[in-house]
Structure 1
Amino acid sequence: MVETSSIAPGSLTRAELADAVHREIGLSRAESAELVENVLGTISEALLAGDNVKISSFGSFVLRNKGLRIGRNPKTGVEVPIEPRTVLTFRPSQLLRQAING
């Protein structure tokens, strides 16, 4: 597991991921950055192709199709149709959930 004490609080960036790979595995910084980009690119390509992505012991990125529905403008109360769309959700694995919740 990657040491998290050297990662700044807040959002984890690509550069921080590449730096963690560099520290943990010992690849050069350029190779680490390329590895992170390749992994994220592969995940992105699979999602764009309509495939779900499951990473064992981490979680799943799941594409879900939402149909047409009627929404309401909370300020005016006017009904507005919400067009069908595809949404991306993340479902953490049970192991990740347990780790987060202690």
Structure 2
Amino acid sequence: MNKLDLIIALRDETQISKMEATRVVEIFFDSMRNALKNGDRVEIRGLCSFFVKTYKSYVGRNPKTGEKVPIEPKKLPFFKAGKELKERTNRTSSGRVR
């Protein structure tokens, strides 16, 4: 499922216009981006959580030359699946856990 599929599903489920559904999805993702940018954690109970890890600078190596290269500090977003999502992913069509 991509962003457009999500917009269409929202439109069909709620009977709102495609423009309104697009705006709702944009607000949702913008809010998530802003929260992560501010260092906040985004948690959707039963589904997942998103958070940002901060890495300090370190000295790495160029794999081709072996030369030492300084790596700048960075922040990277991470996704963690929730318990319910993990359980649903591991269920078979009969409802049993694999």
Q: TM-score interval w.r.t. the shorter chain?
A: 0.7 to 0.9
Residue of structure 2 aligned with 1:67, choices 35, 42, 56:
56
Q: How many residues align?
A: 91
List alignment gaps of at least 5 residues for structure 2. 92-98
| Matching residue of 2:11 | 22
Report if aligned partners of 2:55, 2:75 keep a CA contact under 8 Å in 1: yes
- 77, 82, 86: which one aligns with 1:97: 86
- Same amino acid, percent of matched pairs: 33
| Alignment deviations for residues 1-20 of structure 1 (CA, whole Å, 9 cap, x no partner) | xxxxxxxxxxx332211001
RMSD of the alignment, in Å? 1.3
Q: CA deviation at 1:74?
A: 1.2
Cα distance 1:74–1:44, how it changes in 2: closer, same or farther (>3 A)? same
Tell me which residue corresponds to 1:47: 36
- List runs of 5+ in structure 1 lacking aligned partners: 1-11
Q: Which whole-Å CA distance do the structure 2 matches of 1:96 and 1:75 have between them?
A: 41
Deviations 1:43-97 (A, max 9, x none): 1111122211111111111111101112111111111111111111111111112
Bigger-Rg structure (1/2): 2
